[in-house]
Amino acid sequence: MPFEDAIGPEKILQVYDPITKMQGVVVIDNTALGPGKGGIRMVPDITTEEVFGLARAMTWKNALADIPFGGAKSGIKASASNSHKAQLVAAFAEKIAELVPKTYIPGPDMNMGEGDMKIIAETIGTPKAATGKPASMGGLPHELGSTGYGVALSTQVALEHAKIPIEGATVAIEGFGNVGTFTAKHLSSWGAKIVAVSDSKGAAYLEGGLDFETLMRVKKEKGTVAAYPGAKVLEARELFSVKCDVLIPGARPDVIHAGNMHSIKAKIIVEAANIPMRHEIEQQLAKRGILIIPDFVANAGGVISSYVEFIGGSEKEMFSMVKEKITANTRLVLEKAKNGDLRAAALAIAEERVIDAMERRRNSKPPR
């Protein structure tokens, strides 16, 4: 298998149910720090290689978040619009029950939501079988905005490091879904000025700052932030060249690339989305003096929330832990970074934590 290395994967389970025709795969990458944690996605073209890549990313994210979870991921090979989705999810749960929750703890990912996590928990027979469940089952729903809160905290630390006061700091945010809205909400409440926001239909730019409540109302009533009254309407891609202190890519991958990197005017980039640019692009921007907080540093609020849910913690405890962990880990990465390459520093910290845990586990085993 081409992706085996010193970290993992520890286990790959491919499953099939002949009754529902469900096909799925689970990759447990590394469990040295705790049970593998990572979401289930439902897409028709899922591959084992893709799931492994996502599982490895979760190994690093959970290690850097400093929570007792390892890395894992899973996928169901089907269209999300499948009329038998509930049956497919239940069949998948039955097939992976031997792993859950001791070795693997699933959560929602692409095309999977709290209702699907409810099915998994009920099928396996324990609320600990999944995170991201409905609040009625003790879940901490995505709607609480843990990821966006963490991105805002990471931005706050980055601004402090760059000696830019958060009061009046200008921010441009790509994407106004769950992560983007909560990021904007918290940064606005702390005094930052949101000067540009985009969604799939366009972008709104206002040098004097966009009001958060008005943005929410316009998005709800008009279906796009580009309808913000008095704002300059831009194409969504033009947001990346807006003059601002902080640029937050928060939607799609690879939005910053060789074709637009030279037009970026931000002093800081905080990656709310996963892989909004390749590592080599980050390195080139860092050479220009742009401070870049990597995705798995900034957007770990969601998995920290999952851990609090798993241990039966409250909403208040979740927000407290997100604040503590995201703030501390962003500061640590900034402190350890050399030549402005924060991703390399973050990966080195995560890898060291995983390898130390692997050695402790190895040394704790009695000799045969």
Catalytic residues: 73
Q: Name the token pair of 204.
A: 């709104």
CA 192, 199, 61, 92 torsion: positive or negative? positive
Q: Name the token pair of 216.
A: 């929410």
DSSP-derived secondary structure letter, 366 = P
How far is it, in rounded angstroms, from Cα 39 to Cα 63? 16
Q: Name the token pair of 288.
A: 């220009």
Which residues does residue 77 pair with via DSSP β-bridges, in sequence order?
Answer: 43
Q: Name the token pair of 223.
A: 């279906």
How far is it, in rounded angstroms, from Cα 239 to Cα 86? 39
* Extended strands (E) in 119-226: 170-174, 193-199, 202-205
Match 């994407």 to its residue by tokens.
175
365 to each of 9, 361, 368, how far by Cα in Å?
A: 20, 7, 9
How many CA atoms lie within 13 Å of 45's alpha carbon, on the beta-carbon side?
0
**Per the omega criterion (within 30 degrees of 0), is the bond before 106 cis?**
no
Q: Name the token pair of 139.
A: 């879940």
**Closest CA relative to residue 351, chosen from 7, 4, 34:** 7
How many CA atoms lie within 13 Å of 365's alpha carbon, on the beta-carbon side?
8
Q: Residue 97: CB partners within 8 Å, gap ≥ 6?
A: 123, 124, 129
